Amino acid sequence: MNSAKAPEMGGLGSFEEQVMLAVIRTGADAYGMSVRRELERVTRRSVTIGSVYITLDRLEAKGLVTSKRTAAGTDSPSRRVFSVTSAGAKALSETRAARDRLWDGINLQPFLREV
């Protein structure tokens, strides 16, 4: 069974970017449910646990995040916690740079006035 493939360079999907940022924001204890909560809190949109897990799996397969198992505690089960890899961080900054280039020189005022 193969896990990590060679990391892909270039643009991340929008939700992939959001999940990776949420993993970073959540910090040390970034398990599926906590990532989901952070994402929901910041984007103010409802997020399902299934979509978070499938995205995390694909990101891990691409080598952009990694996961490990914590030991089970007295009142908490063993959890799979995620963290962003250096390849993932690189992908994030490239995506951000591409987005900045797209935003460069954009003035939204004329469009906002029409509303």
Return the number of other C-beta atoms located less than 10 Å from residue 25's C-beta: 14
Query: Interface with other proteins by CB under 8 A: which residues?
Result: 1-3, 25-27, 29, 31-34, 37-38, 41, 46, 48-51, 53-54, 57-58, 60-61, 66-69, 75-80
Which of left, alpha, beta for 44 (phi over 0: left; psi -120 to 50: alpha)? left
Q: Which is nearer to other proteins, 67 or 95 (CB)?
A: 67
The H helix count followed by the E strand count for the chain is 5, 2
Q: Which is nearer to other proteins, 46 or 107 (CB)?
A: 46
DSSP string, 93-108: HHHHHHHHHHHTT---
Compute the least distance from the CB of residue 79 to other proteins, in Å.
Answer: 5
Compute the least distance from the CB of residue 43 to other proteins, in Å.
Answer: 14
Compute the least distance from the CB of residue 106 to other proteins, in Å.
Answer: 30
